[in-house]
Amino acid sequence: MTRSARGAVIADVESLHLPGADLAGLAAQTSIRQLFEVRKLMEVRVAGWAALRASAEDIEAMRAAIAADVARNTAGGNPNRLFHDALAKAAHNPALVLVYESGRHLFFRLPFYWKLFDDAQVKMTRAERHEMARRWHEQIFKAIVERDAAEAEGAMFQHLDIMEKDLARQTAKHRRRRQKSPALFLSPVG
């Protein structure tokens, strides 16, 4: 962490972690519902604060993340994650950024549920989810540009709620297929 005129700045956010936290273990024990409960608790309010506090630079970072998503440009990182990162920073609350950054590995880096699907399913499901997310990001962004905190919060809640329900539906569908044909999902022994 470094200090600037505006307060504390996290210099190396990738090295942040909760002392003693086993994020991989936590991810394995966390249900989709639990994960999205935490995200809703934090990110809905973050969207409202971003609408009230975002600077021109913050708005440009969000715009760039959406543009990268539309162009399918991942050179700067995952555009979905970049959008959510930009929102957290636009709240201009160093303590909140610290909490968000410590949980980001759980939110974005440990997609434990993708291990349920084969590669073709992952590609198709992720493509559908990314398109759905991008549309919600555009709604959230519009509300932020218009400085409409209530609309930004509402759009963020809807975004996360729909993503949660879609993921739960996908995993339930996979579970049903697995129960009908368990031999298809067994690992070869050898």
Domain ranges in the chain are 31-172
Query: CA 164 to CA 178: how far, in whole Å?
Result: 21
Low-confidence ranges of the chain (pLDDT < 50): 1-2, 8-18, 23-25, 28, 110, 185-190
Which residue in this structure is represented by tokens 């979905």? 80
Question: In the chain, what are the helix, strand and coil shares in percent, each to the nearest 5?
Answer: 75, 5, 20
pTM higher than the cut 0.85: no
161, 153 in Cβ contact below 8 A? no
Query: CA 40 to CA 127: how far, in whole Å?
Result: 22
Which residue in this structure is represented by tokens 């609309």? 151
Q: Which two tokens stand for residue 10?
A: 């996290």
How confident is the model at residue 189, as a pLDDT?
44
- 90: exposed, middle or buried (C-beta count within 10 Å: 0-12, 13-18, 19+)? buried
Handedness of CA 85, 91, 93, 96 (dihedral sign): negative
- CATH tag, 31-172: 1.20.120.530
Q: 26 vs 20, 21, 70, 101, 175, CA distance in Å?
A: 12, 8, 32, 16, 21
Q: Which two tokens stand for residue 117?
A: 């699907």
Reduced to 3 states (helix: H, G, I; strand: E, B; else coil), residue 7 is strand
Angle, vertex CA 112, rays to CA 106 and CA 114, nearest 5:
125
